[in-house]
C-alpha cells in the first residue's frame, strides 16, 4: 500500500502561481511513477502531468504544458506540481496518484493509489 497526502492548494488570482506537494508513505516511493490529475465540478477527472521513477521522463496535458512543472524528490518521498500563469479553467480538485511499471501514463485507470485531493481555485 502507498498512502498519498496532497497539500498546497488554495485561492489564487488569475496569472498567479501555486505549488502543490504530495507526500507518500508506505512502500518505496522511488518504485512508483507519480501523476497529478484534476477534476472540476461536473467534469471527468483529467490528466495533468506525470513523472517517471527517476524523474528523467515527464508527460504533460497540452492544456498545462509550458505553465506547469512536475518534479519529485525521492529522498523526501514527495512529488510536486509547480503551477504558473494560472487560469480560471485550472480551478479543480487536484489529485496525486501512483502506479507501478514504466509507462508514464495519462490514464487515470492505470493508477493504483490516490490521495484525497486538494482544492485549487483561480479567481478571474
CA 108/CA 117 separation, integer angstroms:
14
| DSSP annotation string for 37-91 | EEE-TTS--EEEEEE-TTSS-EEE-TTTTTTEEEEEETTTTEEEEEE-S--GGG-
Distance CA(104)–CA(122), nearest Å, equals: 28
What pLDDT, on a 0 to 100 scale, did the predictor assign at position 1? 86
d(CA 78, CA 71): 9
Task: Look up residue 93 and give its three cell numbers.
Answer: 480538485
Q: What is the pLDDT of residues 36-65, one digit of tens each?
A: 999 999 999 999 999 999 888 999 999 999
pLDDT above 90: residue 27 = no
Tens-place pLDDT, residues 68-117: 999 999 999 999 999 999 999 999 999 999 999 889 999 999 999 999 99
Tell me, what's the pLDDT at 3? 96
Amino acid at each position: 500500500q502507498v498512502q498519498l497526502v496532497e497539500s498546497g492548494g488554495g485561492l489564487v488570482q488569475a496569472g498567479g502561481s501555486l505549488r502543490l506537494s504530495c507526500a507518500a508513505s508506505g512502500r518505496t516511493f522511488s518504485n512508483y511513477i507519480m501523476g497529478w490529475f484534476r477534476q472540476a465540478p461536473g467534469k471527468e477527472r483529467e490528466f495533468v502531468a506525470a513523472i517517471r521513477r527517476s524523474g528523467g521522463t515527464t508527460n504533460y496535458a497540452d492544456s498545462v504544458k509550458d505553465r506547469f512543472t512536475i518534479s519529485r524528490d525521492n529522498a523526501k518521498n514527495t512529488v510536486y506540481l509547480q503551477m504558473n500563469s494560472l487560469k480560471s479553467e485550472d480551478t479543480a480538485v487536484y489529485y496525486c496518484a501512483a502506479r507501478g511499471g514504466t509507462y508514464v501514463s495519462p490514464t487515470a485507470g492505470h493508477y493504483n493509489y490516490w490521495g484525497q485531493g486538494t482544492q485549487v481555485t483561480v479567481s478571474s
